[in-house]
Structure 1
Amino acid sequence: MSSYDYSINFNAETDRGEADEVDRRRMLAERAQLGDTEAFGELIEQHRSKAKMWAERMTGDPHMADDIVQDALIRAFLHIGSLHDTSRFLPWLHKIVRNQANMRLRRGGPYKREKPFAAFGLPDSEADSVDWDDLDSVLFHLTRTAANAAKNVHDPAESLMRKELYETIHSVLNCLNRKERDIFEAYFFKQLSPDEIAAMYQMTTGSIYTYIHRSRQKLRQEHIRVSLGLLPDKGGMALVKSRLLPLPEWPASDAVMQSFVDRIGHLLAAIGDKRETAELMGLSGFAFRIQISDKTTFADGIYMFDWRRTLMSFMQELGYEVSLLCGQLADSPVPLLGAVERFPVVLPIEEAVIPFIRRAIDAGKPVIYFDTTASRPYVHEWSLIYGYDDEKRTVRLTDVMKPDGKTLTYEDIALNPVRFLASVNRIEESVKLPALHARDAARRHMAEVSIRRAVEHAKNPRAYCPMTAYLSYTSGLSAYDRWIRHMRGDPAIPPNRYGVGQLAAVYAQARSYAARYLRGVPLQGEAMRFALLASEAYEQAGEALGEFSAAVPFMRTAEVLSPEHCEKCAVWLEQAKAFEAAAIGYLEKAVDQLEKGKSL
C-alpha cells in the first residue's frame, strides 16, 4: 500500500470515528432531553474539561472558570429541552459557557465580587496602617476608606455600594468556623491557589475546593439572613436543644418500595397508629397505579403525582390533618421537575426549615421529608426526620439503604433543591367512639372508594399532566403499551437499564399488595367474589412483572440491555397487562354489584 493510500484510509477512519462520536453525542443529548440524568451526566463528564478550557481562556482566571462551568452546567441541565438540534450539543454548551463568562466579566472584571482586596488600590499612607494579615483589620480599613470616598468623589453611589459590600462581608464572615475562615482568607485575600493552600494544611486539593465551595454556600445563606434582618438570637447557647425520637422497628415484611407510602406507614407506627401496609397501599391507590414517561424509560413516572394533594387527602381519610412546607430553590437543578414545578421558589436558609422540624419533633412526631441524597442505588426517596441537634447542627433521618439511619447537616436540609416536609396531627374526635357497625360501614365505604379509584386510574391514560411542555406521562393500562414500545424501540437507543429495573421492581411489588388488599376488603356476596377474582388476576400480573424484575434487577450499572433481553421483557409486560386488564374487568363487576345493592 502506498503512503497516499494509507493516508486516504487513515483520514477515512478518522472521519468515521468523528461521525460515530457525533452520533453518540446526539444520542446522549436526546436521552438527556427525555429526562435521563445518567445520559446528561455522561455528556458532562466527556466535555467538562473543554468547558473549563473555554471559560479559562475568556477570564484568565482558573478559579473563576470553575464557577462559570458549574453555573453553565446547571443552566444546561435546566434547559436541555430547548436544544433543537441534538447533534450540536457541544456548540450549544459552548454558547452557554460563553454567556456565563460574559455575565461575570460585565459584573466587574475577572474577579466580580471575589476581587482580591489587594486589587482595590489603596493610598500608601493609609495602607501602611493596615495589618494585612488580619482580615478584620483589612475590612475595617476598606469600609472606612469607602465611606470617606463617598464624600469626596463625583460618583458617591459606587463608593457607598462598596462600603455596603465590605460591611456585609464583615458581618457574614462570622458564620465560618476557624478553619473555613483561614482557607477563605488564603484563597480570596492572599490569592493563594488551592494547590498552595492544600500544601499548607497537608490536605488534598479536592478537599480545599470542597471547603471553598461550602464556605461560599454558608456565606450566601448568611448574606440572605443579614439582608432579611435574621440576626443570631441573643440568647446564645441557652436555646440550643436536641431531641431524638425512638422509631419503632420497621421489618422487611412491612416495608414497601413505594417510599411515599412506606414513610407514612412508619410515621403512623411511630405515633402509635400501626396500619397494615397492604391497607395503606390499597387505600392510597398506589397498589393500583402505574405511570411511564412518554419519552424515556427513566423511573420518574413513579414520582409523578400531586404530592401535596395526595398526602393531604389520604391522611384526612385516615383521620389526620397535615402541615406542609414545600418549595424549590432558584438556580439549582431541580429533580423531578414535573412533580414539583408548582412549588414556590424559596430561599436556601435554615430559618425557613429547621424551626418546622423542631416543632414537630418536640411534639413527638417525625417529619416526612423528600431526600435528594438517598443512598445508592436510589437517587431520591421519601424519608423520616426523627431527631435534631442544635449544637452539632444536624438532623437524624431514615434512609432506605441504611437500617440505622443517617445524619444530614442543617445546611444540607436548607440547600435541598426540592423542599418537601410534612407533619401530621390527629383530627379531634368526638368523646364517644362510633358504634362498631358504624366503623364497619366506614371501612366498607373506604374499600368501595379505593376500588372505584383503581378502575378510574386504569382507564385514564393521563392521570397526571405536568405544566412543563416537554414532560408527559402515560398512566393506567395504556402505560403498559407505552412501556412495551420503549422495550421494542430503536435498538440503537436501548432502554435505561437502571430505570426499567426500578419500574419493574416497584410495580411488581405494588401488584402483589393489590392482591393482598383485595383479599381483605370488607365486601359481601357477589361484590366480594369479584374482588377475590380481581385479587387472583393482580397476583398473576405481579408474577409476570416479577419475572421482568428478576431478569433486570434494580441496581446502578452501566450494562446495556440487548434486543433479545428487551423482547423477553416486552413479552412479560404483555402478560402483566392482560392479567391486569382482567382484574379491572372484575373490579368493574364488583362496582356494578355494589350499585345494585344500593338501589335495592
Structure 2
Amino acid sequence: MGKRTRDDFTWSQNTDTIAIHSMLEYTGKAGMSLVDVMGYTAHAFRIIIDREAVEVGSYSAFDWPLHHTEQLQNLGFTVQTAGRPNHIPPTPAELEEALGFIQDSLDKGVPALGWDLFIPEWGVIYGYDDEKKTLRCRDARKDGELPYEKLGRGEATELYVLAITGSFPVDKRSMLKGALKLAVKHARRQCLGHERGNYRNGLAAYDAWIEAFTKRTVDPFGNGVNTGKVWDTREFAAQFLLELSRNWEGSSLQDGRLRTLAGEAAERYAAVAERLGEMRDMFPFPHGGEPNADAQAERALTLLREAKAAETSGVTLLERMLELLE
C-alpha cells in the first residue's frame, strides 16, 4: 500500500477553493492557510461521483451559488452571485449585471471568482480595463486578459461569477461547528437535486464509483480527473484534522476530547487518502490508464471499498466532534 506522500499543502486540484483562498487574501481573513480554507468550508470532505461512467464533470455537479454561499458564510462573508451551471450563454443584460458587480468588488480591492475563464475550471478575476473592455483573470491554464464579451462564452458557454459583498465576525468554534455540519450533511444526505440523476454525493458516491467499476463502464479521462480531485480533498481533510488535534485551543474536558476525536478522524481520512493515492497512480491524469481492464478494476474495487469503510468511520467521528460543539 502506498504511503501518504503529500507534504505541500499550498496548492490544490480543487480550483474553486484555490480561488476562494486567493480572494480571502484581500479581506480581513488574509493569512488563512489553504488547509484551513479547505477544512472550514468543508470542501475537504466533498465527493460527487457519476455512477454510470465517473463522468468528468462529477466534481462540479452541485448547486454552485448555494454551495459557495454556504462555504463563505461559514467563514464570515456575505456574497453575491450571477449565473449558474446551465450551458446557456449569458444574455447582454446578464453579462452587464455580472460585470457591474465584478467591477464593484475590484473597486473595493477584492478579486471575484469566475468559472471557465480560460478553461472549464474556477479562477479569479483580479482586474479590469474599461477602455480596452477586458478583465484580468487567472486560472489553471493561464494568467491574462479576457474580453468582457467572452465572460460566460468560453468552452462551457455558461456564466458564473461570485463576489464577496461584506463580512461579519465569526469565531473558530462557530466555524468548526458550521464546517462539521456541512461535512456530515454532505456525507449522509443526497443534496444534488432530482436533475442530477446519476450523481451521488458523500458516502453514496463511493457506491456510485463501485457501481461504475463493477459494470466496467468507467470513462478513463473522467475517472482520472475525479480520482485526482477526491484524493486531493482527502489529503486536506487528514491534514486539517491533524492540525486541529494539535492546535485546537481550550483547556476544558470538552476541548481535550475534541482534540482526541480530531486525531482519530485524521487517521481515518489519511487511510482514505492512501487508497485514493494508489488509485491516482493507477489512473493518472490525463490519459487515465485502463480502469475497465479486469485486474485494474478489481484492484480499484478493493481500494474503493476500503476507502468507503475508512470514511464511514471518519464521518462517525465528525458527528461525535459536532455533538461536543452543539
TM-score in same-fold range (> 0.5): yes
User: Structure 2 matches for 1:198-597, cutoff 5 A?
Assistant: 253-271=9-27, 273-326=30-83, 333-334=87-88, 346-348=90-92, 351-371=96-116, 373-374=118-119, 380-402=120-142, 405-413=143-151, 415-416=153-154, 417-427=157-167, 442-460=171-189, 462-467=190-195, 471-490=197-216, 494-521=217-244, 522=248, 524-556=255-287, 561-592=292-323, 594=324
Could you tell me how far apart the structure 2 residues matched to 1:587 and 1:428 are? Answer: 26
- Report the CA distance shift for 1:390/1:414 in structure 2 as closer, same or farther (over 3 A): farther
User: Structure 2 matches for 1:10-29, cutoff 5 A?
Assistant: none
Following superposition, the deviation at residue 537 of structure 1 comes to 0.9
Following superposition, the deviation at residue 317 of structure 1 comes to 2.7
Say whether the 8 Å CA contact 1:320–1:426 is kept in structure 2.
yes
Could you tell me how far apart the structure 2 residues matched to 1:475 and 1:327 are? Answer: 19
Stretch moving more, 319-328 or 296-305: 319-328
Letter paired with 2:303:
W
Following superposition, the deviation at residue 346 of structure 1 comes to 4.3
1:81-111 deviations in Å (ceiling 9; x for gaps): xxxxxxxxxxxxxxxxxxxxxxxxxxxxxxx
The number of aligned residues is: 307
Q: Give the number of the structure with larger relative contact order, counting CA–CA contacts within 8 Å between residues 6 or more apart.
A: 2
User: So what's the TM-score if we normalise by structure 2?
Assistant: 0.84
- Report the CA distance shift for 1:445/1:316 in structure 2 as closer, same or farther (over 3 A): closer
Could you tell me how far apart the structure 1 residues matched to 2:65 and 2:11 are? Answer: 22
Across the aligned residues of Structure 1 and Structure 2, the Cα RMSD in angstroms comes to 2.7
Amino-acid identity (%): 27
Could you tell me how far apart the structure 2 residues matched to 1:483 and 1:308 are? Answer: 26
Following superposition, the deviation at residue 296 of structure 1 comes to 2.5
Letter paired with 2:137:
L
Gaps spanning 5+ residues in structure 1: where? 1-251, 335-344, 375-379, 430-438
Say whether the 8 Å CA contact 2:77–2:164 is kept in structure 1.
yes
Gaps spanning 5+ residues in structure 2: where? 1-7, 249-253
1:529-569 deviations in Å (ceiling 9; x for gaps): 12210111101110110110011112157977422222222
Following superposition, the deviation at residue 498 of structure 1 comes to 0.9
Could you tell me how far apart the structure 2 residues matched to 1:428 and 1:530 are? Answer: 29
Say whether the 8 Å CA contact 1:465–1:472 is kept in structure 2.
no
- Report the CA distance shift for 1:305/1:391 in structure 2 as closer, same or farther (over 3 A): same
- Report the CA distance shift for 1:328/1:549 in structure 2 as closer, same or farther (over 3 A): closer
More helix by share: 1
Larger radius of gyration: 1
Could you tell me how far apart the structure 1 residues matched to 2:269 and 2:230 are? Answer: 11
- Secondary structure, aligned partner of 2:162: strand
